[in-house]
Amino acid sequence: MKIKLLASTNLSVTKEKILVFPFFSGETISSGNKELDKKISLFSDLYLKLDSGEFRIAFYDQGSFLFLNIGDRKNWKVKEFLLAIRKSVRIIKDNKILNASIFLDSLLPQEDIFSQIVENILLAEYDFSKYKKESGFTINNIEIITSRLLEAQKGIKRGTVIGESLNFARDLSNTPGGEMTPSLLATVAVKELSKLKNLRTEVFNLKKIKELKMGGILGVSQGSAEEPKMILVEYLGKKKDKKIDLAFIGKGLTFDSGGLNIKTGDSMLGMHMDMSGGASVLAAIRAIALLNLPINIMCFIPAVENMSSGNSYRPGDLLRAYNGKIIEVKNTDAEGRIILADALSFAVKKYKPELIIDVATLTGASVIALGNRAIAMFTNKDEMESDFRKIGDKSGDIVWPLPCWDEYQEEIASSFGDVANTGSNKGVGGAILAAMFLKNFIDGHPWIHLDIATTMTSIENQGMAKGATGTGVRYLIQFAQEFEEIKKGLK
């Protein structure tokens, strides 16, 4: 699909094209074109009756209209506006219409919205259909009609990079576990990223992981026939300086069976998406490189499969992580934090980044706490929590804070090692305890942990296809973009 820009004055109308009019409750629609406005006015009774969120397709002699009520003008909110855009695209797609023009001029009080419009068009157009006999319908062209041409031009460029990166993450996540093993994930990462400017990739194999004594990764992977990998991506976007500003760490669990604490019932279904954190990191660094952001970032993705077999690691095992701390395994299904322990401590020791962000589908408990509409955010920089939240609001990846105060630490005290991988107080505060566990491996560095189990898969009525959402990608990109400003607060 192509997204194009069209000045209101150059509008053409054909049978093959649907004209999309999102409009505010009670307001009559104007296209800026007299002829067209006459035709639209023939339908004013019909569209003015639509309630907020309702839509109608109407046919006229030269083509068709899509009217979509997006609520009251005085309640305009970015989030709801972008949802309306996504819904419009889904309607066009469901009706198998090849070309569309969306009229936006009267709807845009906010600066800088074009990139997000384009991201959301691409998000909504996406389907994971490449395994179907008949691949899904795709829209050919969407034109954005506006008079703010320069602004829109820039927005289309940025939005296309971000939108395509989001869908790259979704493709990685949606691919079944057997076809997205640690080795295959590493292969795609190298293939897709190493061709980009200022990017360098490297993959640690089993031998190297053993040499480095990453006992967490070794423990979790030992029950699987698949060799673990550690994927590293270095992006140096600053001209002279080589110092690493940010480290991105993504959980790359390519399939989580739970291990010997095997998952029961339906809870194993969807666990091929347990590498979504890794996918987000790869997609974000792709976008950051294509946008040429002036920042240096190191990415680490421990890629591992958690299986149950005669070789599996066991409850009661004591694993030595990269930083020397001994992890007591109380439950083999709390594996994400164990592989992240090695990645975090390696990143901190070798690169000393100014700030670390890890992204992981870490706990079902985060979903219990927050539902499916916000990412759970944890940080050891309490005083910057609201700055970090604002980045989420701007990016479209909403993050919401949960505490990780040191007093929680006693709940993951270990009897035989230094730290246990699950809590002693059964079942309570699971998302927090997972974050507390990670906190043992960052050596006091500024750190943000995003538990994206909440938003890993799409929910109904959000104008997105079933399956992976690409959650976290936009947060990381926005963070990189604003890092110079954030850095001042870290001192």
Q: Contact positions toward Zn ion, by CB under 5 A?
A: 253, 256, 274, 336
Please choose, out of 17-25, 37-45, 358-366, 441-449, the segment that lies near ligand BES by the rule CB under 6 A: 358-366
Binder among 83, 104, 185, 456 for ligand BES (CB under 6 A):
456
**Residue 89 and residue 55 in contact, taking contact as beta carbons nearer than 8 Å:** no
**Residue 122 and residue 78 in contact, taking contact as beta carbons nearer than 8 Å:** no
Residues marked active site are found at: 263, 337
Binder among 333, 342, 397, 451 for Mg ion (CB under 5 A):
333
Distance CA 88, CA 72 (A): 17
**Is 71 or 252 the residue whose CB approaches Zn ion more closely?**
252
Q: What is the dihedral of CA 214, 438, 278, 228, to 10 degrees?
A: 20
- In angstroms, what is the minimal distance from the CB of 378 to Mg ion? 18
**Is 83 or 434 the residue whose CB approaches ligand BES more closely?**
434
456 binds, among ligand BES, Mg ion, Zn ion, none (CB under 5 to 8 A by kind): ligand BES
Closest alpha carbon to 84 in 71, 97, 95, 70: 70
Please choose, out of 22-30, 216-224, 333-341, 469-477, the segment that lies near ligand BES by the rule CB under 6 A: 333-341
Range 359-378, binding ligand BES (CB under 6 A): 361-365
For residue 213, give the 3-state DSSP assignment.
coil
Q: Which residues, at least 6 apart from 125, have a Cβ–Cβ distance to it below 8 Å?
A: 1, 89, 93, 138, 139, 142
Q: Which residues, at least 6 apart from 273, have a Cβ–Cβ distance to it below 8 Å?
A: 173, 174, 361, 456, 457, 467, 468
- In angstroms, what is the minimal distance from the CB of 358 to Zn ion? 14
Cβ burial, residue 25 (10 Å; 0-12/13-18/19+): middle
For residue 491, give the 3-state DSSP assignment.
coil
**Is 153 or 425 the residue whose CB approaches ligand BES more closely?**
425
Contact characters 230-269, Mg ion, x per CB under 5 A: --------------------------x-------------
> Does the footprint of ligand BES cover residue 30 (CB under 6 A)?
no
Binder among 84, 327, 334, 339 for ligand BES (CB under 6 A):
334
**Is 295 or 370 the residue whose CB approaches ligand BES more closely?**
370
- For 35-78, the DSSP string reads HHHHHHHTTHHHHHTPPTT-EEEEEETTEEEEEEE---GGG--H
Distance CA 82, CA 190 (A): 33
> Does the footprint of ligand BES cover residue 302 (CB under 6 A)?
no
First CA to last CA across the chain, in angstroms?
Answer: 45
> Does the footprint of ligand BES cover residue 335 (CB under 6 A)?
yes
User: Which residues of this protein are in contact with Mg ion, per CB under 5 A?
Assistant: 256, 333, 335
User: Which residues of this protein are in contact with ligand BES, per CB under 6 A?
Assistant: 256, 274, 331, 333-336, 361-365, 422, 430, 453, 456
